[in-house]
Amino acid sequence: MQNSLNSLCIVGGGTAGWMAASVLSSALQGSGIKITVIESPDIASVGVGESTVPSILDFLRACRIDLNAFIRATSASFKLGIRFDDWREVGEHYFHPFGRVGQDINGFEFYQAWLKTLSEGQATRWLDQSPGAIMAEHSRFMLRPPRSNDWALRNYSYALHLDAVLVARYLRDLCLARGVARIEATVNDVAVDDRQFIRSVSLDDGTRVTSDFYIDCTGFRGRLIDRALNVGYRDWSDYLPCDRAVVVQTRNTEGPVPYTQATARAAGWSWRIPLQHRTGNGYVFSSRHCCDDQAIQTLLTTVKGEVLNEPRVIPFVTGRREKIWHHNCLALGLASGFLEPLESTAIHLVYKTLIHFIRHFPDRDFDPGIEQAFNRKINTDYREVRDFIILHYCTAGRRDTPFWQNCQNLPVPDSLREKIRRFRERGELESNSGDFFSRDSWCSIFEGMNIRPRKYHPLMDAFDSQRLAAQLRQQADHIRTTVMKMPSHGDYIRQHCGVESRVRTSGEVS
């Protein structure tokens, strides 16, 4: 007999809460399950996660949201990857592009072919083989043509730079139009039954809300998952050195570039995220190597443009919940964990958590095996992201400050240590089904840090070196020629999805 859920309550709004309402209102359409969002007017959203990865497009498609309309509403710009400045040495930079780098050759990974030509002094740059990297280098952009046979036009990916406050507002309006209920109130108390299931939440207006299932989107406080259900937190601070961030917004001084900029600083790193109407800036740092006042001063002296708001310091503890789904409660967003914003994965993990939840969607029997399977899946995702972020710190070439010297002595998880060992030997990178970061992503970080394998795959010697090098040069030339025919990033936004092109149905231009 079916014993389906009748109701689902999301506690907390912000980006995570309204993403949950958007995905679930689409996925559960026709199920009869009532979705309610409780959003407090007194608790501000952290609202600084403005850089995304390509899965943001999967989220928009899943929610049936028009891309151009979303970009206009959120003042977004496009993102082709991340530029890392001063991580290996001051004055040097490298790029982590989305999408492919090079074409595989006769079943062999492109990186192995590139290593062979490199060993013989004939190689093009690694990033010359990446359409996304060349587009970013020249600030060019266009959406991929839907039916192109051109490899260079089919193999770049992109994400978005967003205004998190505008995103939450847009998704809230979308959900309300689709029948999601919204209660504006603050949760005062959470009632838990003898089984340690949440029975109800009491609000500051005197009402009580009961539901079959609850999603905790209350941020670092974890009002349900932590304070009510006492689910512990797995602290990864030993692996990741930063524990605070200071953030500020500035007026644009130039058109937005299609990439996030991450610059190494004395006690951490700073980000620069260009939107259509302003730029988001932040400094992620270690409180053991820098006080708040020093961090604020560093950020204010390195940003470009007029400062639009007072700097805000945000403390955090990197890690994740011991159980992200526990009984009839799912933790989402900052309530579930935080892995710092270096690779812009916060919104991705929100979406991935929701996708896993839908695939393991419970009924009122709450089979513990389903919950356990979900937690295994999402824990694997968190570990993958954690290891990829740690890679940036443990391979960084900087030694000029106590912070960067300390990074060389941080513990490295066994899973990452083995990955680095195999790469250093001959460039092998094992990938698993469901991995988010591709081999090309890992290679881009290794190459950026000037870490190269001792040798390449031995069967690459079956290829003629001169012909292989000529093939790579030809492909690089084709990519560059193709990119230079594209419009500039700024022109593309203005023509297709710029804020100034938004027209209301009344005909009024906003």
Active-site residue list:
79
Contact call for residues 129 and 102 (beta carbons, < 8 A): yes
Contact 211, 311 (CB under 8 A): no
Cα–Cα distance between 261 and 155 in angstroms, integer?
22
Q: H-helix or E-strand containing 116? A: helix 110-119
CA neighbor of 285 nearest in space, from 301, 304, 302, 266 = 266
> Of the candidates 299, 293, 297, 291, which has an alpha carbon nearest to the alpha carbon of residue 272?
299
Measure Cα distances from 57 to 161, 276, 289, 453, 495 in Å.
12, 19, 38, 34, 20
Q: How far apart are CA 332 and CA 222, in angstroms?
A: 9
CA-based R_g, the chain, Å: 24
The packing angle between helices 164-177 and 14-27, to 10°, is 30
422: its two tokens: 């195999």
> What would the 3-class secondary structure string for 235-260 be?
ECCCCCCCCEEEEEEECCCCCCCCCE
3-state secondary structure 32-90: CCEEEEEECCCCCCCCCCCECCCHHHHHHHHCCCCHHHHHHHHCCEEECEEEEECCCCC
Provide the 3-class DSSP secondary structure of residue 294.
helix
- DSSP track, 187-203: EEEEEE-TTS-EEEEEE
Residue 286 Cα distances to 143, 262, 264, 310, 425, angstroms:
39, 16, 12, 21, 33
- Residue 332 has which token pair? 């989402």
- Beta bridge partners, 509, equal 503
